[in-house]
Structures are given as structure tokens and as C-alpha cells.
Amino acid sequence: MDPSLANARRGQTPKETYVVGLYYLVKGWMHTLRKLNEPKDIQAIMTCARSMVEITVDLDTSSQRRDCCTLYEMLSSIVWQKFRTARSSC
């Protein structure tokens, strides 16, 4: 069953909303994989595989701790990576 976007934000904790977002990322990658069926698509397939592993690690990390600190740590890490990338390109 596909969770509705309207219900995703109503009465959920930030962690639950984050998990629903990860669900949609996986769903999008699975749709992409259906289209990639030629040998020249190997780079895109490898990118998809890496993203799926990262999503699995995020889910595992967020399920190990029950408090919301893990979610904030992951989100701040993403912001820090974006900042570092932007700073290095200057």
C-alpha cells in the first residue's frame, strides 16, 4: 500500500515523516531501474545501488536509537556536506 502524501505530514513525528520520505526515494529509484536495461546504463545503475545502500544505512541508524537526536544528526550531516561541497567549488 502506498502511503498518501496528505497523511504523511498529519500527526507524525519528524522521524516518521523522514522514513516516509525514504520510502518515496526508494520507490523513485525502483521506477528508474525499470528503465535502465542497456549496457551503457551501468553508471546510472551503480548510482542507484549506492543510493539504496545509503538509504538502508539511514534506516538502520534511525531504527537503532529511539530518540529524535539521530534524525537531527543525519540532517545536520547532510547540510554540512552540502556546505563543504559548495565551499570547495568556490
Residue 3 has pLDDT above 70, yes or no: no
CA–CA separation, 19 and 14 (whole Å): 9
CA distance 4 to 20: 9
| 5-27 average pLDDT score | 74
With a cut of 50, say whether residue 56 has pLDDT above it.
yes
Average pLDDT, the chain: 76
pLDDT of residue 58: 79
pTM greater than 0.75 (yes/no): no
Q: How far apart are CA 89 and CA 39, in angstroms?
A: 32
Cell 518515496 sits at which residue? 24
